[in-house]
Structure 1
Amino acid sequence: AVGLTRGIVTAPNWYDRIQYAFRRVCQHSKERGAARLGAEGADVEALNTLIDAEMELISEMGKFACAARAAAATILHHLFHPPDSRPPPPFHYGFLELLPPPRTDPDIWAYYRPRYTQDRCFVADGMVLALILGDDSRGVGVEAAMRTYQHDAKGMQALADCVLELGSTSRFAFP
């Protein structure tokens, strides 16, 4: 496992898989630019390899989205049907656990700790998923808590877009 998924036994390295596919797209994009300066046949071949790399990236993103949906469904299944009150499910999706306490894995906790006291975080298939419930003691309902998380996600997306726009020549570019 890489990065923040370190220590989680079931991590399928989603980060590595998506980064590898993205870097292949970048590499083949540069090769296609160089091939356009050369022979005509080389440009067609470079375009085909670029398209294959882009399809691989789209495939990895789709697999990640499917895994996230399946993990969310598993969390809901476990919440509404506690293990001692239900027959064994007809399916089994990976390993599901509550986010470890801060002392056992400070790297994960620093980034993924719940913002509100009633929120619950789960680790499933190397992904951290949050169940947003808010905080009744501070008067924060589910909708307000969800909007806060959405604003956080939009801010992170804006930051990621800015870093991507800097390209490969900036000091802040992707390695």
Structure 2
Amino acid sequence: MDLRNVRTVFLDRDGTINVKAAEGEYIRAPQDLVMLPGAAKAVAALNAAGVRTILVTNQRWLSTPSADPARFAAVQQRLDELLADEGAHLDAAYHCPHAVDSCDCRKPLAGMLFRAAQEHGLDLSESVMIGDSESDVLAGRAAGAATILLRTGAAPAAAGADVVVDDLAAAVRLIVPSVG
């Protein structure tokens, strides 16, 4: 696939757009959300090029008894604000609040991508999934999308991604070559 013909980018959140919490921890408060360097500008470049930008994120902590969906909403609001500060926005956002093996939307399954395609009339063959984990790559593959793995995560380069790059900015340069 020629990445310059991509019309939709699916983005993981933690480890792709913002700094990932420590292993076994989650971003549960707005003040804990810290953007990765260059991530907001990369999203702004996608927006400026007319590429749909859709967030797809697993949030297993929401399946626990102590989960507070309002806290998740506040974190998402903070993400929207930090993106807006750089002239960027997400066209849509999907999250999986379910426990492992209890749904078809949790990555590495492609339920969130299929739902977005249905709700927004997307052609998944003209899309790419960008993330920092093997589950992101597998979800993209399952949906028929191209895949870009970011080295910011712990996934091995052998995760089967179409392309492996250092960060979101590098991924966006493959899609929108005019980005500096």
Is the TM-score greater than 0.5?
A: no
For CA contacts below 8 A with separation 6 or more, give which structure has more relative contact order: 2
Q: TM-score, normalised by structure 2?
A: 0.23
- Which of these two proteins has the greater Rg computed from alpha carbons? 1
More strand, by proportion: 2
Q: Which protein has the bigger helix share?
A: 1
Q: TM-score, normalised by structure 1?
A: 0.23
